[in-house]
Chains A and B, each alone.
Chain A
């Protein structure tokens, strides 16, 4: 016998099970009070004896008070029924009944939870669980079902079983215009009646009906909300009382089967009115869409473009384009060896090596050409270097953007020739003054000398002093060849030619621009450079530092634009053809202040990209960008809107640029 904290729909709180030890057939009775047990037992005994023609001979139970009362003993004595009790606190001795209880309660819990019905339906669920258990094969019966053993023939009503709690539509004829069916919930079967037990949530009544259409497809979730409001029962977990109250086991010694079903065991052979339906859910799902303003924000914040560039040697080797990467690495190694970048030595005691890694890049050629170049570069892990030991001075000058523009202005004014050169592996030309050891690069370890180290002779990429060493080397070269370094920009060199005109050279790390009136002089300088460094001649300057140079020598104009770069930024920010351009970079309605800043982190590096455009060719957005940059340490929504505004302005003016025109006055 078990008790539930929750009353069932009829106010029952207890149930008692009787199990036939031979057939394992189970009967369940639900009751309001424990003392009803004796009456129920007598009724059950009568029913069983009548149905089988045999008599109950033995009754096994635990030592619950309701089984050990005087009236109970008297009844058993009168009927000659033998009593078995368990030893105190030893439920094992009543194993069959205890296990059955567990089986039943677990089924009840599942059914209630699955159907989403409230706990007051435990009685109905229990009854249905018993119905199922009696029809399921049992291990104790060698796979036969309890009903089969009990009556000699197996049950034949399996196809009338439905999922507990599923929707059922039962036939009604209320008036001509009313619907012909009403919705209810399937609960089980009623003993002795050929029909389904249904719960009508509207009228809160149990209905018996024969003409029912079931809808089991919706049993996946949605009944819950509907039922919650219908049931007033408090929502607590189904709990079992911890002190287990005894259970009855009846051992009827029934040697011959009886074909008849008990009164409690309905044999529901109701014609199946259901139609075959898919169990899969058919309920349409609402498409979850973020608010429009949020969509935009995310598009701006997450410009993830997968360009298929590997980050490690392993990735490069395993990637689809591994052959091309391998080729690029071979080329780099060749160049390193050619420059005698290092000697392979055994690491002296007390010295440490610094690591190195491969860095990969894909480079697009000049506009118009489509071929993508694969580049691999070996870099030393310069961050491991220690100041004073591995390096001393690190400063290296780079050309100011103003200087580039001044040079271009000169080009426009005096109609000069403009050439661009690129130094291959520029840093490798720098001689190293300090003694630095590096481990061997991945994939190119010399067999047999795996533990040896590379003693660096040239400044490898990644070392702290590399840019400086390269600059020093270049500076020395230029001064040796009679060039003067400008005092105002150390990356600008010039030399007076015989005819009084000048040749200029601008250095930006490894890119250089050469301008002069005479083509011969430029070629001479190129040849000189080539003897010293490995150069790449890019011909007439088309593009430097992301700025495109367009010349019209007839009109004497030079235009400087950043169309490609800006288009790339706009693409990253998700600004496309649909975005409406604006005519000014910052509108007066943006009153930016620090008070608009929230206390959260947000993307800010993207502003740096616009910032670069401002530095290069865009004085027109410089005010707007400077306004916005003030808050970039802590940007808020207002600031974001201002940035979007700037992007929209850029979107409308990607092809705008600086224009230098020959001025006759100068």
Chain B
């Protein structure tokens, strides 16, 4: 997953983008404007993580129903600070305003159903879902999630 901070020119909202793959192909994706204004990059990322987690829970449940054995779902995030915020109950002036509802991420991470991991920006396919990328980067993103000519 990824997010772009305050890229909306009208209301300064941020963008959430995520894509889930199964058997190398993308099964679920989203690119959407966040519903509230984020005050910092980390907050924007954190909100994107929340959205991605919601989807991940659903996917996890469905795949379990369909008897695909998966210990956990990997969610890759390119922001180390957002990962830290999810794992540790850090509280300081920059994060104390973040709405409780986004802290359900912490609960899930604690339970261990979903694994939040770091990914380099260069290898994050969700990049193309949140901003205009160059031709080469775009092609790279497509290759990562196996979108190609058949």
Contact of B145 with A619 in the complex, beta carbons under 8 Å: yes
B146 touching A488, Cβ below 8 Å = no
Asked whether, in the complex, the Cβ of B147 is within 8 Å of the Cβ of A658, the reply is yes
| Number of chain B residues close to chain A: CB under 8 A | 45
Task: Check B10 against A410 for contact (C-beta < 8 Å).
Answer: no
| Cβ–Cβ contact A402 & B27, under 8 A | yes
- Chain B residues within an 8 Å CB radius of A486: 62, 65-66
Q: Interface 1/0s, chain A 405-437, versus B by CB < 8 A? A: 111111011000000000000000000000000
B149 at the interface (CB under 8 A from A): yes
Task: Digitize A636-666: 1 where CB-to-B-CB distance is under 8 Å, 0 elsewhere.
Answer: 0000000000000000000111111111001
CB contacts (< 8 Å) of B8 on chain A: these are 630
B122 at the interface (CB under 8 A from A): no
Cβ contacts A476-502/B at 8 Å (1 or 0 each): 000000001011110010101000001
Interface centre among A412, A494, A558, A623 (most CB of B within 10 A): A623
Given A561-B150, A659-B148, A661-B25, are A623 and B130 also a contact pair (CB < 8 Å)?
yes
Cβ contacts under 8 Å, B63 to chain A: 406
| Closest Cβ–Cβ distance, residue B53 to chain A (whole Å) | 15
**A-B CB pair tally, cutoff 8 Å:** 139
Q: Report whether over half of chain A's contact residues are helix, strand or loop; otherwise say mixed.
A: mixed
Binary flags per residue of B1-44, CB closer than 8 Å to A gives 1, else 0: 00000001110000101010011111111111100000000000
Q: How far is the CA of A658 from the CA of B10 in the complex (A)?
A: 34
Contact B31 A623 (CB under 8 A): yes
Which residues on B sit within 8 Å (CB–CB) of A559? 150
Chain B window 38-79, contacts with chain A (Cβ cutoff 8 Å), 1 for yes, 0 for no: 000000000000000000001101110111100000000000
Q: Find chain B residues with CB under 8 A from A405 CB.
A: 22, 25-28
From B19, B24, B66, contact of A406 by CB (8 A): B66
Q: Is A587 interfacial (CB 8 A cutoff)?
A: yes
**A619 in contact with B26 (CB, 8 Å):** yes
Q: B10: which A residues are within 8 A, CB to CB?
A: 593-595
B55 — nearest CB in chain A belongs to which residue?
A: A402
B66 engages A402 (CB within 8 Å): no
Within the complex, which residue of A410, A492, A591, A623 is in contact with B129, where a contact is CB–CB below 8 Å? A623
Contact stretch, chosen from B82-90, B94-102, B112-120, B132-140: B132-140
B147 touches A659 (CB 8 A): yes
Q: How far is the CA of A331 from the CA of B148 in the complex (A)?
A: 43
Among the listed B26, B33, B139, B142, which residue makes an inter-chain contact with A626, where contact means beta carbons less than 8 Å apart? B33
Contacts of B134 on A, CB cut-off 8 Å?
A: 584
A583 to B133, CA, bound (A): 11
Chain B residue at smallest Cβ distance from A626: B31
Residues of A near B131 (CB, < 8 A) are 623
User: What is the CA–CA distance of A466 and B87 in the complex, to the nearest angstrom?
Assistant: 48
Partner of B147, one of A587, A592, A620, A623: A620
Cβ distance A628 to chain B, nearest Cβ, rounded Å: 11
A622 at the interface (CB under 8 A from B): yes
A242–B65 Cα gap in the complex (Å)?
99
Q: How far is the CB of B136 from chain A (nearest CB, A)?
A: 9
Residues of A within 8 A of B (CB): 402-403, 405-410, 412-413, 484, 486-489, 492, 494, 496, 502, 504, 550, 558-561, 583-584, 586-588, 590-595, 619-620, 622-623, 625-626, 630, 655-663, 666
Q: Give residues in B with beta carbon < 8 Å to A.
A: 8-10, 15, 17, 19, 22-33, 58-59, 61-63, 65-68, 128-135, 138-139, 141-142, 145-150
| CB<8 Å pairs between A and B, sample of 24 | A402-B28, A402-B62, A408-B25, A412-B25, A494-B65, A494-B66, A496-B67, A502-B67, A504-B66, A583-B139, A584-B135, A620-B147, A623-B128, A623-B131, A625-B31, A626-B31, A656-B147, A656-B149, A657-B149, A659-B147, A660-B22, A660-B25, A661-B146, A662-B23
